[in-house]
């Protein structure tokens, strides 16, 4: 794999994730519009200079015809993306079913679906079969594109079966796996019918990474308790083979946010927002509309605060921006109407003819609008019931170097481990405590705000997404080299 532009060939990195960082929309038989999403993972990997990264994943569209598949493959190649084609049935069983209906809630301590136990058990089996089949389809694409010396980095709970498939394909392949969600206590993982098979296939990787030490520890105890394997300080050992397990807390591309605040259009927007909310303190929530984000609990805590603090009623506003996700799932529809109902009730109760206490938007904001909003916020409320890390808290901190606002942060978000010293940590289930923390944040002295902000800002700007990716990939590389040396001995 010669690299003509910049001298010696760089080592290739194959990044495998359920979704490609590109959204594809079909315009005609063979014509596609591709939009590269600018998420944290994309910028993280763009920053890993010593590797040449390629993406492998599902493009999010069903392309049943060969001609369409060929043309999309060609179009994606320009973005260094390689598609895995999944048909509608597989997507339904693997993605909506096993991934989002079983693994996602379980890993966030919401348990397994219980509406109809027998039906669940039956569909569970077919969904797990589809999950394995889909993972094998990813492995086939990786296998086709793999070249000796490549490093393969698998992402997230969608692809827990992939490390095993890849090692079966080629036992010399360097395989890493990183989980973006929490890994739950082994007592929770134990309830999963396919608990052992999933653990074993993850252990086929050379390096397994989590956001926090707690998640890594939970994973190691699950391997000990469920599989009877030995946990060592470095990971898990099975018949002389060591799988390294470690914490790699993700970060954001903080410069991108800091630079955005200098863009004239963003500056203008900041001025508009300041004028719009003059005389009121701005509180902000930005979340995907998901059960794990604790949005109803957050809004109820705000209601309690208003109830107990009549003097603040016309001096504070909560802006809750919630992007709808998984809108075809009944639980998510229920959550949306629940949130709307609570917001309506509170606005009816505390609103006046000229202002309401809560502005709730069911949509996503573009990057510049989001940065402007972060910059004018006095208090950010991140009250996830569970969250692997939570990047919104990092993004808020990156945009606050002028204002030095307060972060109220759930102790159940991975970010509590890194931003805990600067934030006010809360138990999101305890509405009285969250309401009190709003009061504490509103009354905090400028001096204390500055001290807390400084702690968090230093963390966010030094522990970046780029550093995260570099650390993981170089450790993966070293791990394998070490293993090869050991084998030679």
> Which residues are near ligand ADQ by CB under 6 A?
40, 180-181, 250, 286-288, 321, 323, 364-365, 370, 387-392, 395
H/E stretch holding 27 reads strand 22-28
Q: Which of 206/253 has CB closer to ligand ADQ?
A: 253
> What is the nearest approach in angstroms of ligand ADQ to the Cβ of residue 232?
26
DSSP 424: E
**What's the closest the beta carbon of residue 289 comes to ligand ADQ, in angstroms?**
9
The nearer residue to ligand ADQ, 40 or 184, going by C-beta atoms, is 40
- Pairing between β-strand 31-36 and β-strand 235-238 as defined by DSSP bridges: unpaired
Q: Which of 336, 334, 343 is nearest to 302 (CA)?
A: 343
Tally Cβ neighbours within 10 Å of residue 376.
22
CB of 489 to ligand ADQ, least distance (A): 37
Inter-helix orientation angle 431-442/295-308, to 10°: 60
**Distance (Å, rounded) from C-alpha 147 to C-alpha 142?**
10
- Closest C-alpha among 170, 151, 154 to residue 162: 154
Beta-sheet strand order (sheet of 11-19):
81-83, 51-58, 11-19, 151-155, 174-178, 207-210, 241-247, 235-238, 230-232
SS3 state at 24: strand
| Shortest Å, Cβ 211 to ligand ADQ | 7
As measured in angstroms, the least distance from the Cβ of 286 to ligand ADQ is 5
**Residue 189 or residue 360: which is nearer to ligand ADQ going by CB?**
360
Using the minimum distance from each CB to ligand ADQ, give the nearer residue, 24 or 179.
179
Q: Dihedral angle at the C-alpha atoms of 158, 162, 164, 168, nearest 10 degrees?
A: 160
CB of 329 to ligand ADQ, least distance (A): 15
Rounded CA-CA distance 155/137 in Å is: 15
The SS3 of residue 163 is helix
* Cα separation, 195 vs 173, whole angstroms: 25
Cα dihedral 111, 113, 119, 124 in deg (nearest 10): -70
Tell me how far, at minimum, the Cβ of 293 lies from ligand ADQ, in Å: 8
Q: Which CB atom, from 159 or from 321, has the smaller least distance to ligand ADQ?
A: 321
The closest alpha carbon to 451, from 423, 425, 409, belongs to 423
Cα 196 from Cα 418, distance rounded (Å):
31
Q: Which is nearer to ligand ADQ, 32 or 58 (CB)?
A: 58
A 10 A CB-CB count for 361 gives 12
For ligand ADQ, the closer CB: 98 or 394: 394
Quote the least distance from Cβ 390 to ligand ADQ, whole Å: 5
| 294 vs 388 by CB, closer to ligand ADQ | 388
Smallest gap, in angstroms, from Cβ of residue 213 to ligand ADQ? Answer: 16
Select 180 or 200, whichever has its Cβ closest to ligand ADQ. Answer: 180
């Amino acid at each position: 794999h010669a690299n003509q532009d910049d001298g010696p060939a760089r080592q290739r990195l194959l990044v495998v994730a359920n979704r490609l960082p590109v959204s594809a929309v079909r315009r005609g038989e063979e014509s596609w519009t591709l939009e590269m999403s600018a998420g944290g993972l994309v910028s993280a990997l763009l920053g890993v200079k010593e590797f040449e990264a390629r993406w492998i994943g599902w493009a999010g569209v069903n392309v049943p015809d060969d001609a369409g598949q060929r043309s999309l493959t060609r179009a994606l190649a320009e973005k260094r993306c390689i598609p895995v084609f999944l048909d509608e049935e597989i997507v339904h069983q693997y993605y909506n079913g096993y991934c989002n209906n079983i693994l996602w809630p379980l890993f966030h301590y919401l348990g397994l679906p219980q509406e109809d136990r027998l039906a669940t058990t039956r569909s569970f089996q077919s969904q797990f079969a589809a999950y394995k089949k889909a993972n094998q389809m990813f492995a086939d694409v990786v296998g086709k594109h793999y070249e000796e010396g490549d490093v393969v980095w698998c992402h997230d709970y969608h692809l827990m079966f992939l490390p095993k498939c890849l090692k079966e394909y080629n036992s010399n392949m360097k395989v890493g796996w990183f989980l973006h969600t929490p890994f739950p206590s082994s007592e929770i993982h134990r309830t999963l019918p396919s608990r052992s098979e999933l653990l074993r296939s993850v252990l086929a990787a050379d390096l397994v990474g989590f956001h926090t030490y707690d998640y890594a520890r939970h994973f190691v105890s699950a391997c000990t308790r469920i599989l009877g394997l030995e946990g060592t300080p470095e990971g898990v050992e099975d018949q002389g083979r060591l799988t390294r397990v470690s914490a790699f807390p993700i970060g954001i591309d903080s410069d991108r946010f800091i630079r955005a605040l200098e863009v004239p259009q963003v500056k203008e927007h900041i001025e508009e927002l300041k004028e719009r909310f003059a005389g009121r303190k701005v509180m902000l929530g930005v979340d995907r509309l998901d059960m794990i984000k604790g949005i109803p609990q957050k809004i109820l805590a705000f209601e309690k605060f208003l109830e107990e603090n009549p003097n603040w009623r016309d001096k504070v506003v909560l802006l809750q921006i919630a992007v709808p996700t998984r809108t075809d799932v009944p639980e998510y529809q229920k959550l949306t109407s629940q949130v709307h109902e609570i917001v309506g009730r509170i606005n009816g109760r505390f609103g006046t003819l000229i202002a309401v206490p809560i502005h709730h938007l069911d949509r996503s904001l573009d990057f510049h609008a989001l940065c402007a909003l972060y910059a004018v916020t006095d208090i950010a409320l991140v009250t996830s019931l569970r969250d692997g890390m939570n990047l919104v808290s990092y993004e808020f901190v990156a945009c606050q170097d002028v204002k030095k606002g307060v972060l109220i942060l759930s102790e159940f978000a991975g970010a509590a481990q890194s931003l805990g010293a600067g934030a006010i940590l809360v138990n999101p289930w305890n509405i009285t405590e969250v309401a009190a923390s709003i009061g504490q944040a509103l009354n905090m002295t400028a001096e204390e705000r500055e001290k807390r902000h400084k702690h968090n800002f230093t963390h966010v700007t030094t522990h970046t997404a780029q550093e995260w990716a570099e650390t993981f990939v170089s450790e993966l590389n070293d791990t394998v080299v070490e293993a090869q040396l050991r084998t030679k001995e």
